[in-house]
Structure 1
Amino acid sequence: MYSASDMSPDEPDNSVFPELEVENLILPTSKLLKPPSEAIFRKQYTFAKKRAFAIFVHSKKAAASGAELSSGDLEAHWHCCEQTFKEAASIHKHVAKTHDAEIQEHTIAILRLVGSRGQARDSQPPAQSPVGEKREAWDVSLWIPDISHLTEDQLHRGPGEVLLYYCYCHLETPHPICAWQRELCQKLQLKGKVRIATEGINGTIGGSKVATGLYIKAMLSHPIFKIMCHNDFKTSEGGAHCFPDLKVGVFKEIVPMGVDPDLLSYRLAGTHLEPEEFHKEVETFLLKGNSSNDTILLDCRNFYESKIGQFTKCLAPDIRKFSYFPDYVDKNLELFRGKKVLMYCTGGIRCERGSAYLRSKDVCTEVYQLKGGIHKYVERFPEGFYQGKLFVFDERYAIPTSSDIISECRYCGTPWDQYQPCSTDFCYQLVLSCPACRQQGHTACCFVCQGKAQRKEEAGENTPAEPLLKEECECTDTRARVPCDTLPQACLQTH
């Protein structure tokens, strides 16, 4: 939360921005000739947010009534959300807690106004000013690509693709990055998810190849993300239709592991191996066969992902969420003690924090991670040691990497690896059910859920729903939240 206690809520100094109306901040956008540096960007954002906060608080100040004037009781008070606040600290706390989204919108509006004024000054003859003084301002439109030369068909039709990327970097002020990302994706009509935090950004978005190309170009032009390169964006066939909508937000972590980034930084991650290096390590590991008891090939994804695709003889924890991974490590420390660990995930991001957590336990001899994840590995080694499909978190559920099918139908056991959501409306599990079994009505994740769905259908639409938890089914009842593994069983795992 943010508090402007160092500014007077009664005197926001609107002489600086006389055009501002706190209830309707709709201001013109503009483009400056030269983008500001990151330091200037942060300084201007902090100034704009303080100003927005002060103006908002001032707008809630109540005028003195006739009774108060006659009695001489002129103590300041504020009205907001049908409440009355008589202390500045209390109204500040309320606004910071309840109206953060509005403050962010007003902040962006102020930044845009600063940008338009800066442009106006730049268009005038230069005035006397100190040597070296720079007139720079920040505006989200600075890094929005110009698409005026493109037709609607050129931008939004034709072949599509899905981008997967992340960048760990310090973002002191993530909210303006969030605003920029939202405007950028909306302008390019991209859908998907973008997570932003003080530790960086993580995104998976889809659209036409023209739009995704412009998105990459905009990302690489931003001064904060200049450490990225084109190779950091993993691509696969798809498009905007792979996602129901666009979700852009600020979070504590860019990948939800449940460990505070301030306590466990990505900077503690294991050694990155290029796909070629990782391939050689896996090859050596497999050549040793059952005698390879000094190395663990660790899949740090969840069981949905590893079930339909994995590296040969990997250790694939039977966990449903990545946020269970720290508990899994804690429960299986002896499994990792004295071992060299080769870790992999879909695109590399979970390995960054996962390897950092494993290293923090100080039980492994070495911890390595596959740079770029499975995405980059199968690009380089399509016939390599990864078998099956690659699970993805969108409506495709999986993308092919080879012709191998390593999983089977939940009901009849025939080879099958295409997920569908459980057909019961109170369950969010995924199910592998082949076409023949689906035709017989086996569309739920397990027999328990299937029975509940049938009872609901027989009872009729007007019958109140059963008071069930969304995960209350055979799938979760028979699976330990954090399993305890043994190395021989895990490393001899084959399909």
Structure 2
Amino acid sequence: MMDGDDLGERVLIHLDVESLSPAIDKHEKQEKSEFPTTRKCYSYIKKKTFATFVASKRIPTSNLDTSSLWHCCDEAFSDPSSIHKHVSIVHANEIDELTSEALDQMLKQANADGSVHDHPNDCQTKDASSWMPDTSHLSEDELSKGPGEVILYYCYCQIKEPRFICDWQNELCSKLHLTGKVRVATEGINGTVGGTKTATSLYIKAMLAHPIFQVMQVEDFKTSEGGAECFPDLKVGVYKEIVPMGVDPDIISYRLAGTHLEPEEFHREVQSLLKDGSSNSDTILLDCRNFYESKIGQFKNCLAPDIRKFSYFPDYVDKNLDLFCNKKVLMYCTGGIRCERGSAYLRSKNVCKEVYQLKGGIHKYLEQFPDGFYRGKLFVFDERYSISFNRDIISDCRYCGSPWDQYQLCSTDFCCQLVLSCTSCRQKGLTACCPVCQAKEQTPSGSPSSGRVHKEECDCTRSRPRIPKDTL
């Protein structure tokens, strides 16, 4: 195998940077300057780099045995799928490095040619009013009353001044009477907000019109029944990560994420897995959500880690690397954002054969396959707790064991656990998450905690290992 310098020189010489321009113009007509930071363009360049890398391994067949068409790492490959698989597994890091180099080279060339103008981040983002939708034709009642919905979205992109975007989001949501949560970081934005359909429609149009987020499309916004009442208030803030995995995004970037599969592609993969049977399979269907999410809804025959927070996921991977060794991994989460970073972290360990993720998450899958291989409810992080696409109930009441999947908060004032307690058991006063909490004396209303912040301490927390060791 060539060393890094020779490899880079050989591949990049044959990477026709200028030929990328038409594709960029086609996809980014309105903002050429955005192409270095958009995932769409990065993905295009990566595919180009991958193809060029594979082509560099091809052996001329004029005077050779045609059964050996490619040669790499002292191995001969006679069909495209075998060399593609080899390169994607063994040379993944080199492809990523070459892609970044090509991206930088293209940007330098574009700057030298004068084809790159002001970056979207350099526009007047300080003036939030510049990106506000016109609501002069609407009354306050039209914005705040009527049929509602909740929208869920994320966008990985470069934001140089997240504070300006944060201020804009605060003003935009307040103007449209939206509630919810929005996380902004230098790596992008992640939000779920609720309001009237009139307001959410204007919100989506405002997002798509902003130069920083023009890489997004309407289908990137997942919608469900609800409204402003689904959230207690509006929270917009600047964070290090737009999804809290606890790993510096500069170290493990979303750009290292696994291959995206459309819902129909993911459906076929799961169908094949279930048909072949899970025993001795080289494929793992991995749920990277928290245990209380997968408890009320999941894909059949999945591996659902018993973890409480997504920030535990990296440690879970580290402790269970043997599970993923030489495996093909199919990952999924609610809307796709956790898989972006989770799959990147898993890929960084260099143990998996292949890593794929469900594009758009469970939400998009259920829109196409409500009676598919995902059964039960979809957990959501608002006061609805879950939304339904099918009638299956896969979880039980904490106390009597009858089918039940409607979460409520533990009744003790210091506990933040969710509890599945059916109507009959709640009428009997069984409203806590575990016997320890149930036995605690309720704090009288009017003096909830006497100024003290109670630390959660119950059986649910103590009995669950922070990072479980799993077996298949």
Q: TM-score, normalised by structure 2?
A: 0.72
Shift of 1:292: 4.7
Q: Alpha-carbon deviations, 1:301-321, whole Å to 9, x = none?
A: 001100000000000000000
Aligned 1:158-197 pairs, distance under 5 A: 158-197=146-185
**2:188 match:** 200
Shift of 1:463: 11
Q: Does 1:437 align with 2:422?
A: no
User: Structure 1 347/137 Cα, relative in aligned 2: closer, same or farther at 3 Å?
Assistant: closer
**1:289 match:** 277
User: Structure 1 36/335 Cα, relative in aligned 2: closer, same or farther at 3 Å?
Assistant: closer
For 1:442, what is the secondary structure of its paired residue? coil
Give the whole-Å Cα distance in 1 for the aligned partners of 2:292 and 2:213: 32
Give the whole-Å Cα distance in 2 for the aligned partners of 1:464 and 1:188: 35
**2:466 match:** 481
Q: Alpha-carbon deviations, 1:258-297, whole Å to 9, x = none?
A: 0000111000000000000000000000001144520000
Q: Does 1:365 align with 2:353?
A: yes
Q: Does 1:249 align with 2:234?
A: no
Shift of 1:334: 0.3
Shift of 1:467: 8.5
Q: Alpha-carbon deviations, 1:352-373, whole Å to 9, x = none?
A: 0000000000000000000000
For 1:185, what is the secondary structure of its paired residue? helix
Q: Alpha-carbon deviations, 1:460-489, whole Å to 9, x = none?
A: 9889879995321010111100000001xx
Aligned 1:189-268 pairs, distance under 5 A: 189-268=177-256
Give the whole-Å Cα distance in 2 for the aligned partners of 1:464 and 1:161: 35
How many residue pairs get aligned? The number is 356
**2:42 match:** none
**2:132 match:** 144
Q: Does 1:345 align with 2:330?
A: no
Runs (5+) with no aligned partner, structure 1: 1-34, 40-131, 488-495
User: Structure 1 144/315 Cα, relative in aligned 2: closer, same or farther at 3 Å?
Assistant: same
Give the whole-Å Cα distance in 2 for the aligned partners of 1:273 and 1:230: 18
Amino acid paired to 1:172: K
Give the whole-Å Cα distance in 2 for the aligned partners of 1:472 and 1:364: 37
Amino acid paired to 1:449: C
Q: Could you tell me whether the CA contact under 8 Å between 1:36 and 1:137 is conserved in 2?
A: no
Shift of 1:154: 1.9
Q: CA RMSD in A?
A: 2.3
Q: Alpha-carbon deviations, 1:13-35, whole Å to 9, x = none?
A: xxxxxxxxxxxxxxxxxxxxxx9
Instruction: Give the alignment partner of residue 457 of structure 2, picking from 452, 463, 472.
Output: 472
Q: Does 1:419 align with 2:404?
A: no
For 1:203, what is the secondary structure of its paired residue? strand
Aligned 1:93-104 pairs, distance under 5 A: none
For 1:437, what is the secondary structure of its paired residue? helix
Q: Could you tell me whether the CA contact under 8 Å between 1:348 and 1:372 is conserved in 2?
A: yes
**2:108 match:** none
Give the whole-Å Cα distance in 2 for the aligned partners of 1:419 and 1:465: 28
Q: Could you tell me whether the CA contact under 8 Å between 1:302 and 1:319 is conserved in 2?
A: yes
Give the whole-Å Cα distance in 1 for the aligned partners of 2:464 and 2:372: 31
Shift of 1:155: 1.6
Q: Alpha-carbon deviations, 1:228-280, whole Å to 9, x = none?
A: 00000000000000000000010000000000001110000000000000000
Amino acid paired to 1:439: Q
Q: Could you tell me whether the CA contact under 8 Å between 1:161 and 1:235 is conserved in 2?
A: yes
Give the whole-Å Cα distance in 2 for the aligned partners of 1:322 and 1:441: 32
User: Structure 1 140/286 Cα, relative in aligned 2: closer, same or farther at 3 Å?
Assistant: same
For 1:453, what is the secondary structure of its paired residue? coil
Q: Could you tell me whether the CA contact under 8 Å between 1:38 and 1:224 is conserved in 2?
A: no
Q: Could you tell me whether the CA contact under 8 Å between 1:38 and 1:223 is conserved in 2?
A: no
**1:50 match:** none
Q: Could you tell me whether the CA contact under 8 Å between 1:300 and 1:325 is conserved in 2?
A: yes
Shift of 1:422: 0.4
Give the whole-Å Cα distance in 2 for the aligned partners of 1:463 and 1:298: 40
For 2:441, what is the secondary structure of its paired residue? helix
Give the whole-Å Cα distance in 2 for the aligned partners of 1:170 and 1:224: 8
Q: Could you tell me whether the CA contact under 8 Å between 2:413 and 2:448 is conserved in 1?
A: no
Runs (5+) with no aligned partner, structure 2: 1-29, 35-116
Shift of 1:158: 1.1
Amino acid paired to 1:417: D
User: Structure 1 411/38 Cα, relative in aligned 2: closer, same or farther at 3 Å?
Assistant: same
Q: TM-score, normalised by structure 1?
A: 0.69
Q: Does 1:406 align with 2:394?
A: yes
User: Structure 1 468/251 Cα, relative in aligned 2: closer, same or farther at 3 Å?
Assistant: closer
User: Structure 1 306/464 Cα, relative in aligned 2: closer, same or farther at 3 Å?
Assistant: closer
Give the whole-Å Cα distance in 2 for the aligned partners of 1:464 and 1:244: 21
| Runs of at least 4 residues off by over 6 Å | 35-39, 460-468
Give the whole-Å Cα distance in 2 for the aligned partners of 1:463 and 1:141: 41
Q: Does 1:383 align with 2:368?
A: no
Give the whole-Å Cα distance in 1 for the aligned partners of 2:189 and 2:451: 40
Q: Could you tell me whether the CA contact under 8 Å between 2:278 and 2:301 is conserved in 1?
A: no
Give the whole-Å Cα distance in 1 for the aligned partners of 2:431 and 2:450: 19
